Amino acid sequence: VNPVFCKVALDTPLRRCFDYLPPRDAAAPVPGARVLVPFGRQQLVGVVTALADSSDLPVEKLRQVLRVLDATPLLSAADLALLEWAAAYYHHPIGSVFATALPKLLRDGRDPGSPQVFWSITAAGRVWLQDPKSLRAKRQHELLQWLAARDACDEEDLAELLPGWREPARALLAKGFVATTSRQRDVSAPVISAATAGPRLDPDQANAVTAVTNALGQFAAFLLDGVTGSGKTEVYLQLVETVLARGESVLVLCPEIGLAPQLVERFAKRFATPIAALHSGMTDRERLGVWHDAAVGRARILIGTRSAVFTPLPRLGLVIVDEEHDASYKQQEGGFRYSARDLALLRAQQVGVPIVLGSATPSFESLHNVATAKFMPLLLTRRAGNAQPPRLSLVDLRAHAVHKGLSIPLLQAMDRHLAAGAQVLLFINRRGYAPTLICNTCGWIAPCHACDARMTVHQKSQRLSCHHCGAEEKLPERCARCGYEVRPLGHGTERVEETLVERFPGFAIERFDRDKLRQQSQLEGAIDRVHSGEARILVGTQMLTKGHHFPEVALVGVLNADQSLFSTDFRAAERLAQTIVQVAGRAGRADRVGDVLIQTQYPEHPLLQSLLNEGYGGFAAQALVERNTAHWPPYSRLALLRASGVQPDAAIQFLQQAKLLMENPDGVTLQGPIPAAMVRKAGRYYAQLLVESAQRLRLQKYLAEWIEKVEQLPSARKVRWALDVDPLDVF
């Protein structure tokens, strides 16, 4: 009998799988199953990627799998292939890629179908809680109070939210003040009742639906390029209906920041079937539950942010990426910097199903893919129903008086629209009260001590905070240098809100930013107040620019468009245009005609001019010509080796050595190393080395060889480094 070897992906920094022998007295695990294996002195949970009949190591050196955790594979062959491809393409250790793809409890070795145990307070418990004596048992009292405020609580949630809960819980259980119930997870097939009918599609929408429907069952990529409010979501919903009727499931990706709940709600209204929704702000247990619903086919619609792209779905029939241009699809932190949009494309290709990428402001990559016939364009040029396109105009800040960041023309337009009963939305890309605290006398500016950055003033909490490293301190009243008075300089959302309260008494104001809306439930509350009409003026950051459908908003004001007009990053113009068009798209989405006023010091700037005169499409066409001339993506391929060290030169030195590792690379150029745009961040010094090639394959081949060498450099151990393939921010 030939021996069988298990190739196991383990979450270690090494870029390879590890070989193990099957357990002594059990069958070999199937690929895609998790196993518990010895690793050094530890025991680790890993995933079997393949079985092989040979190993690079002699048999006697190999250790045995301790336990097989899944009798049936957790990941299908296609799921495994996607992860292996991702590890190869992003040149990232495969075990770490697998760790990103699995919910934490699965990584910990938990059985996904294990029964859930719920804890709840009993009637006797409620009585005891009223007894002052109960306060003496402090931790028991605390836990009981917590349970009293909730319905039955899942054990795993308790463990995550109230560490150390187990001991008081046992004591309470013995006294009969709490009770437990256990529930098997429902794995029955979902009931899919008829969908609620949607609106009659207009001809453009109908064409789009037909084109994608005709492609079902095979790979095809579509760019649904539809102006804001043109009914892209309706197109998705129609397609999903067809796919569900074929007995298949759908993967819907959406950007971060609170968009998921709204999309989920629209899907839930239309389809009487379980929907698996994966987004930030869920407990580990909730994540596992949703993952499991999707993986066993109980929920046939999966809606989620970035990492949802890895979730298994049996009989996947269609992939949708909403707002495909959104930067949040790219993981920009840590080691595994993948693009969920690009992986979604690959997944559709591997499984052989169509993918629809939707946006009112498509990424230049996607526009280029249309130009090179890789994507089929589906255009929605008009707004759905009676809605008209918004009217954009510029307010020249040099020519008009400005009252605390708000120009007179904007204030007058606000008066007019508010008097007409409409809502007004103001966008300012800065949270906090003011971006700077300055001394009136000596000009001192409050710095972050760990970064090359200024501290942002937060008036309400009376704190200074660094938006780069999170450092915080008390808001000083006096200058640290000369002792005279300091004052906030510039405007953030908090300050604009304060101005609005003074200037528009009687109009309820809703602020949207991360400081105000920390939790999903708070964001949902704010959105509800906008929909109910209670809120009249909305002021906020990017949170407000994305995907919302607020029918009563008739005026949008962009308070500071200028910040990124002169940025050196080659993507800055694309980003700014996308932001402006997206925020403008919040105006006039129903019967009200929308006005958009963009405040700027540079009304003659070519970017603003082409955007106003020719729209996003015209702007993009021009900007793409410039990209081509300058050999930037999508006309070239980039990777960025980023490094940081505690010593000022460590990162640069490491990158210099990395650059010298391979002489005269074929068709690949290395630029740098240069210090990062913000050199010092959170006490570390950052630098980067840019790798560029006209051809993706050349770049890939180079990186594969190069990274193996980079890893071996002694200086690599003195810094933190990460390779970013297809980076978004280059400067």
The least distance separating ligand ADP from the CB of residue 516, rounded to whole angstroms, comes to: 25
Instruction: Let me know: does 343 contact 731? Beta carbons within 8 Å.
Output: no
Cβ closest to ligand ADP, residue 380 vs residue 658: 380
Looking at 25-33, 35-43, 449-457, 695-703, which segment touches Zn ion (CB under 5 A)? 449-457
Query: Residue 359, SS3?
Result: strand
DSSP output for 140-203: HHHHHHHHHTSSSEEHHHHHHHSTT-HHHHHHHHHHTSEEEEEEPPP-SPPP-BPPPP-PPPPH
Query: From the list 21, 137, 179, 471, which residue makes contact with Zn ion (rule: CB under 5 A)?
Result: 471
The least distance separating ligand ADP from the CB of residue 573, rounded to whole angstroms, comes to: 23
664: left (phi over 0), alpha (psi -120 to 50) or beta: left
The least distance separating ligand ADP from the CB of residue 322, rounded to whole angstroms, comes to: 8
Cβ closest to ligand ADP, residue 262 vs residue 305: 262
Q: Which residues bind ligand ADP (CB under 6 A)?
A: 199-202, 205, 226, 228-234, 384-385, 549
Query: Residue 278, SS3?
Result: strand
Rounded CA-CA distance 522/520 in Å is 5
Cβ closest to ligand ADP, residue 226 vs residue 274: 226
- Asked if 469 interacts with Zn ion (CB under 5 A), we say yes
Query: Residue 354, SS3?
Result: strand
Query: From the list 192, 450, 489, 722, which residue makes contact with Zn ion (rule: CB under 5 A)?
Result: 450
443 burial (CB, 10 Å; 0-12 / 13-18 / 19+) is exposed
230 binds, among Zn ion, ligand ADP, none (CB under 5 to 8 A by kind): ligand ADP
Q: Examine residue 673 and say whether the peptide bond preceding it is cis (omega within 30 degrees of 0).
A: yes
Alpha helices in 216-326 (DSSP H): 232-245, 259-270, 284-295
Cβ closest to Zn ion, residue 250 vs residue 455: 455
Cβ closest to ligand ADP, residue 473 vs residue 591: 591
Burial state string for 566-592 with b = 16 or more CB within 10 A and e = fewer than 16: eeeebbbbbbbbbbbbbbbbbbbbbeb
Cβ closest to ligand ADP, residue 385 vs residue 618: 385
Burial state string for 67-84 with b = 16 or more CB within 10 A and e = fewer than 16: ebbbeebbbbeebbbbbb
Rounded CA-CA distance 19/252 in Å is 36
Alpha helices in 630-723 (DSSP H): 650-660, 696-712
- Asked if 264 interacts with Zn ion (CB under 5 A), we say no
Cβ closest to ligand ADP, residue 467 vs residue 589: 589
Query: From the list 448, 607, 658, 710, which residue makes contact with Zn ion (rule: CB under 5 A)?
Result: 448
Looking at 10-18, 175-183, 372-380, 471-479, which segment touches Zn ion (CB under 5 A)? 471-479
318 binds, among ligand ADP, Zn ion, none (CB under 5 to 8 A by kind): none
Looking at 154-162, 441-449, 484-492, 718-726, which segment touches Zn ion (CB under 5 A)? 441-449
Cβ closest to Zn ion, residue 33 vs residue 448: 448
The least distance separating Zn ion from the CB of residue 447, rounded to whole angstroms, comes to: 9
Q: Which two tokens stand for residue 102?
A: 């699995």
607 binds, among Zn ion, ligand ADP, none (CB under 5 to 8 A by kind): none
C-beta neighbour count of 631 within 10 angstroms? 13
Nearest-10 Cα torsion for 157, 158, 163, 165:
-160
Cβ closest to Zn ion, residue 347 vs residue 680: 680
Query: From the list 83, 106, 466, 555, which residue makes contact with Zn ion (rule: CB under 5 A)?
Result: 466
Place of tokens 């009376």: 462
Q: Which two tokens stand for residue 554?
A: 């008739």
For ligand ADP, the nearest residue by Cβ is 231
Looking at 183-191, 267-275, 459-467, 586-594, which segment touches Zn ion (CB under 5 A)? 459-467
The least distance separating Zn ion from the CB of residue 515, rounded to whole angstroms, comes to: 16
Query: From the list 468, 589, 642, 684, which residue makes contact with Zn ion (rule: CB under 5 A)?
Result: 468
Cβ closest to ligand ADP, residue 549 vs residue 720: 549
Query: Residue 13, SS3?
Result: coil
231 binds, among ligand ADP, Zn ion, none (CB under 5 to 8 A by kind): ligand ADP
The least distance separating ligand ADP from the CB of residue 360, rounded to whole angstroms, comes to: 7
Q: Which two tokens stand for residue 440?
A: 């009136």
Q: Examine residue 377 and say whether the peptide bond preceding it is cis (omega within 30 degrees of 0).
A: no
The least distance separating ligand ADP from the CB of residue 200, rounded to whole angstroms, comes to: 6
Query: From the list 254, 296, 451, 650, which residue makes contact with Zn ion (rule: CB under 5 A)?
Result: 451
Q: How far is CA 713 from the centre of its chain?
A: 33
Q: What are phi and psi of 66, to 5 degrees?
A: -80, -40
Cβ closest to ligand ADP, residue 208 vs residue 652: 208
The least distance separating Zn ion from the CB of residue 453, rounded to whole angstroms, comes to: 5
435 binds, among Zn ion, ligand ADP, none (CB under 5 to 8 A by kind): none
- The residues of the shown chain that bind Zn ion, judged by CB under 5 A, are 448, 450-451, 466, 468-469, 471
